[in-house]
Chain A
Amino acid sequence: MSDRITSEVVAKVARLSRLDLDDAELAAATAQLGDMLDHFADIDALDLSSVEPMTQPFALVNVMRDDVEQPTLDRDEVLLAAPDPVDGRFGVPPILGIEP
Chain B
Amino acid sequence: MTAGQIRPIANSVRSGAARAVDVLNGYLARIDAREAEINAFNLVLHDEARERAEVIDAEVAAGRDPGVLAGVPIALKDNMCTRGVPTTCSSKILQDWRPPYDATVVQRLAAAGAVIVGKTNLDEFAMGSSTENSAFGPTRNPLDVTRVPGGSSGGSAAAVAAGFAAGSLGSDTGGSIRQPAALCGVVGVKPTYGTVSRLGLVAFASSLDQIGPFTTDVADAALLLEAIAGHDPGDSTSIPKPFPSLEPSLTRGVEGLRIGRITDLPGGADADVQARVDAAFDALAAAGATIVDVTIPAFTYGLTAYYLIAPAEASSNLARYDGVRYGMRVAAADTNAMYSATRSAGFGPEVRRRIMLGTYALSAGYYDAYYGKALKVRRLMAHDFDAAYADVDVVLTPASPSVAFPFGSKTSDPLAMYLCDTYTIPSNLTGHPAMSVPFGTGADGLPVGVQVLAPALGEATMFAVAAELERAAGAAQ
Contacts and interface: CB of A to CB of B under 8 A. Distances in A.
Nearest to A2: B369
B42 to A, nearest CB: 18
B372 A92 contact: no
Interface in B361-410: 363, 369-370, 372-380, 382
Contact of A93 (B194, B300, B305, B334): B334
A46 B381 CA distance: 12
B356 A14 contact: yes
B100 A46 contact: no
Interface in A54-70: 54-58, 60, 63, 65
A92 to B, nearest CB: 5
Contacts of B370: 1, 40
Nearest to B297: A46
Interface in B294-348: 300-301, 304-305, 307-308, 315, 319, 322-329, 331-341, 343-344, 347
A77 B98 CA distance: 10
A52 B383 CA distance: 11
A51 B297 CA distance: 15
A60 B315 contact: no
A36 interface: yes
Given A43-B374, A54-B375, A96 B336 contact: yes
Given A1-B369, A93-B333, A20 B431 contact: no
A74 B100 CA distance: 9
Interface in A1-59: 1-2, 5, 9-10, 12-14, 16-20, 29, 32-33, 35-36, 39-40, 42-43, 46, 48, 51-58
Given A19-B352, A60-B237, A54 B334 contact: no
A74 B376 CA distance: 44
Contacts of A16: 359, 363
Determine the main DSSP class of A at the interface with B.
Answer: loop
Nearest to A29: B356
A18 to B, nearest CB: 4
A58 B194 contact: yes
B143 to A, nearest CB: 31
A48 B100 contact: no
A73 interface: yes
A78 interface: yes
A60 B370 CA distance: 25
Contact of A46 (B301, B334, B372, B456): B301
Given A18-B322, A42-B301, A83-B324, A93 B193 contact: no
A90 B379 CA distance: 43
Given A29-B353, A57-B193, A13 B360 contact: yes
Contacts of A94: 333-335
A65 B233 contact: yes
Interface residues of B, number: 69
B307 A33 contact: no
Interface string B230-274: 000100110110000000000000000000000000000000000
Contacts of B130: none
Contact of B329 (A39, A51, A83): A83
A86 interface: no
A27 B194 CA distance: 41
Contact of B338 (A51, A63, A65, A92): A92
Contact of A36 (B338, B355, B357, B379): B357
Contact of A19 (B193, B304, B356): B356
Residue with the highest number of chain B CB atoms closer than 10 Å, among A33, A65, A93: A93
A32 B326 contact: no
A51 B301 CA distance: 15
Contacts of B36: none
A16 to B, nearest CB: 5
A78 B375 contact: no
Interface of B: 96-98, 100-101, 193-194, 207, 233, 236-237, 239-240, 300-301, 304-305, 307-308, 315, 319, 322-329, 331-341, 343-344, 347, 352-353, 355-357, 359-360, 363, 369-370, 372-380, 382, 414-415, 430-432, 456
13 contacts: A10-B356, A20-B341, A36-B307, A43-B377, A53-B372, A54-B382, A55-B375, A58-B193, A60-B239, A83-B328, A93-B332, A93-B334, A96-B336
Closest 8 pairs (CB-CB, A-B): A57-B431, A53-B375, A83-B329, A54-B379, A18-B339, A48-B376, A51-B376, A57-B193
Interface of A: 1-2, 5, 9-10, 12-14, 16-20, 29, 32-33, 35-36, 39-40, 42-43, 46, 48, 51-58, 60, 63, 65, 73-74, 77-78, 81-84, 90, 92-98
Given A17-B315, A48-B376, A52-B379, 9 more contacts: A19-B343, A40-B304, A55-B375, A57-B432, A63-B237, A78-B325, A81-B96, A81-B325, A93-B334
